[in-house]
Amino acid sequence: MEINNTAAIVTGGASGLGAATARALALNGCSVFAVDLEESIQNAEPVSGVEYLAADVTDPGQVRTAIEKASAGLPLRTVVNCAGILPTMRILGRRGVHDSALFMKVVQINLVGSFNVLSAAAEAISKTAADEHGQRGVIINTASIAAFEGQIGQSAYAASKAGIVGLTLPAARDLAPFGIRVNTIAPGIVETPMMASVSEEVRNGLAADVTFPKRLARPEEFAQLALSIIEHDYLNGETIRMDGALRMACR
């Protein structure tokens, strides 16, 4: 699918995976709208071709407003959902029983937030003119290898990301009549700002568990994979692991 001179939305676009993806799309000729929380946008680096829009993905009204702005000019063709959080808590541990409010918050942001963006963006994309192959766009969601091998303390996160994996195929089937593909990337451990608070010793230990290459993934590699999915017209309804063959242990 040709993305030059089209619009793209990237949620969580102010940092980490989202920022790298927004930058890569802009370098490939997209007019990119990076959607994130206001406080995150305030700390974001200005990038040529990227406009920041403040919105909470759990608020359908804010999501719709952002998508309306992103689709007001060039045809909206690409959406990459990167917004998410990763708190940890055991179902039963020293702090007692898992806080149900925390569980619901994680699912609301990671899963429901992605669905809010996917559904509203699909409606906007469906109104654009199809190309000669009947294509209108592609939506990429972000899961995690925790969807398959959730670790101790990751019940909320793993459940939310497993929901993303389960959403992928039915969403692709639902949106096929409109020429919209849906795929998911399930990253392993990526060197993002979320890892900044982790010591070098811990990072080295995490990298040692990766089969090959023996290092953490880079945000730019996530962006590279997203571009490959966009360009590969026959990839649809798939969840692709990007993890260096890592299979997570229980802790």
The first and second tokens of residue 49, run together, are 């071709």
| 157 a catalytic residue | yes
The token pair at 53 is 């829009």
Contact 120, 67 (CB under 8 A): yes
Judge contact between 52 and 230, C-beta under 8 A: no
Question: Residues 92-100: contacts with CB within 8 Å, 24+ apart?
Answer: 93/153, 98/155, 98/156
Q: What letter would DSSP give residue 181?
A: E
Of the candidates 33, 52, 157, 222, the residue annotated as catalytic is: 157
Torsion sign, CA atoms 68, 72, 77, 83: negative
Residue carrying structure tokens 């993303």? 164
Q: Which helix (H) or strand (E) holds 77?
A: strand 76-81
Catalytic machinery residues? 157
